[in-house]
């Protein structure tokens, strides 16, 4: 009841402020439900960017992590972009500081710079391309077919995966996602012995040993689609637990098991859950309009630079 009241008051405030919630699949179920009930979106970072750009609301409330808020601000500088907390960051973003990254790029001037969406505005501004995991393979193939060599940042597992799949000449920055990096091939193999019929769906931020066991490797959107469309009834999922909200909604008659992480034993309800995504709570959403410290600002010059590879991403994905 309290949750319903909180959601109703957030909904009323959103209407009063001409605001809409743009939420990521990895946020808590009640956040995703709120976004849906109030006309917002629940999706991956690519669709979040598109939705925020196309929606007529003058304020975007981004329930995700900071790079998603920054991307929204870069694409729509005239809109106010708020987040439940600006402390919600990402290990990939933190692990790729712009000064070091820029120096790395300078050492490899012959390479096309491709960065993952999970980066700061300043890192995007240094890039030729921005990609999300849903278009990573296609962009690498596109560049490779033009004979281009690639500098890939910041996720090394995704970069290695893209290299193996496309044969592109890829040099990777050594970053990783603290959530996906914890999935264990051994634990998945053990779980497969208990449920031999289970299909393994894995996100490419996972280590190679995990991807080798996967029946399908794909972005969050691709994982949800596979779970819905495949005839199988049981799935082992190697990505953030938050995705279970959509999986259960889109495939209610199927069973989903989280892939084991270090020490989890395969039945863990709190593991495989991004600590920064978890900072998006109904309580912080309820006060999102009242605080002085949670609006996203991006230096306009940096934003303009970052807009170039971001537009390229959106046009390529269109």
Residues that bind ligand SF4 (CB under 6 A): 26, 65, 90-92, 118, 177-179, 240, 274, 276-277
Binding partner of residue 91 among ligand CIZ, ligand SF4, none, CB cut-off 5 to 8 Å per kind: ligand SF4
The Cα 222–Cα 233 span in angstroms is 17
Q: Does 70 bind ligand CIZ (CB under 6 A)?
A: no
Q: Does 241 bind ligand CIZ (CB under 6 A)?
A: no
Q: How far is the CB of 33 from ligand SF4 (least distance, A)?
A: 20
The Cα 285–Cα 80 span in angstroms is 15
Burial of 73 (0-12, 13-18, 19+ CB in 10 A): buried
Q: How far is the CB of 11 from ligand SF4 (least distance, A)?
A: 26
- The backbone torsions φ and ψ at residue 269, rounded to the nearest 5 degrees and listed phi first, read -95, -15
Please tell me what DSSP assigns to residue 60: E
H/E run at residue 202:
strand 199-202
Binding partner of residue 132 among ligand CIZ, ligand SF4, none, CB cut-off 5 to 8 Å per kind: ligand CIZ
H/E run at residue 265:
none
The Cα 57–Cα 18 span in angstroms is 5
Q: How far is the CB of 192 from ligand CIZ (least distance, A)?
A: 24
Q: How far is the CB of 318 from ligand CIZ (least distance, A)?
A: 17
Binding partner of residue 63 among ligand SF4, ligand CIZ, none, CB cut-off 5 to 8 Å per kind: none
Q: How far is the CB of 3 from ligand CIZ (least distance, A)?
A: 25
Please tell me what DSSP assigns to residue 260: P
Matching residue, tokens 């240094």: 126
Binding mask 166-205 for ligand CIZ (x = CB under 6 A): -----------x---------------------------x
The Cα 216–Cα 203 span in angstroms is 9
Nearer to ligand SF4, 70 or 240 (CB): 240
Binding partner of residue 133 among ligand SF4, ligand CIZ, none, CB cut-off 5 to 8 Å per kind: ligand CIZ
Q: Does 27 bind ligand CIZ (CB under 6 A)?
A: no
Q: Does 45 bind ligand CIZ (CB under 6 A)?
A: yes
Q: In the structure encoding, which two tokens stand for residue 72, read together?
A: 């929204």
Whether 286 contacts 10, CB under 8 Å: yes
């Amino acid at each position: 009841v309290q949750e319903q009241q909180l959601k109703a008051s957030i909904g009323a405030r959103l209407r009063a402020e001409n605001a809409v919630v743009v939420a990521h699949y990895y946020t808590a179920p009640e956040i995703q439900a709120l976004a849906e009930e109030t006309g917002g979106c629940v999706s991956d970072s690519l669709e979040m960017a598109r939705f925020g750009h196309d929606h007529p609301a003058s304020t975007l409330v981004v329930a995700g992590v900071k790079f998603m808020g920054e991307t929204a601000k870069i694409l729509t500088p005239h809109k106010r972009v708020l987040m439940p907390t600006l402390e919600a960051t990402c290990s990939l973003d933190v692990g790729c500081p712009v000064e070091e990254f820029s120096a790395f790029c300078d050492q490899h001037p012959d390479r096309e710079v491709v960065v993952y969406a999970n980066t700061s505005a300043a890192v995007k501004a240094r890039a030729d391309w921005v990609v999300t995991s849903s278009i990573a393979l296609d962009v690498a193939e596109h560049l490779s077919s033009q004979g281009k060599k690639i500098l890939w940042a910041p996720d090394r597992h995704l970069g290695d995966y893209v290299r193996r799949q496309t044969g592109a000449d890829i040099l990777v920055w050594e970053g990783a996602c603290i959530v996906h990096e914890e999935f264990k091939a051994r634990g998945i193999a053990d779980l497969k012995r208990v449920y031999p019929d289970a299909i393994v769906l894995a996100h490419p931020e996972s280590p190679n040993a995990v991807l080798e066991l996967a029946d399908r490797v794909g972005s969050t959107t691709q994982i949800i689609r596979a779970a819905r469309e495949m005839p199988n009834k049981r799935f082992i999922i190697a990505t953030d637990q938050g995705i279970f909200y959509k999986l259960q909604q889109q495939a209610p008659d199927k069973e989903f098991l989280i892939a084991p992480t270090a020490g989890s034993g395969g039945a863990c309800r709190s593991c495989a859950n991004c600590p920064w995504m978890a900072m998006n709570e109904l309580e912080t959403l309820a006060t999102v309009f009242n605080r002085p410290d949670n609006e996203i600002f991006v230096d306009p010059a940096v934003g303009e630079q970052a807009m170039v590879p971001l537009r390229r991403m959106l046009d390529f994905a269109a």
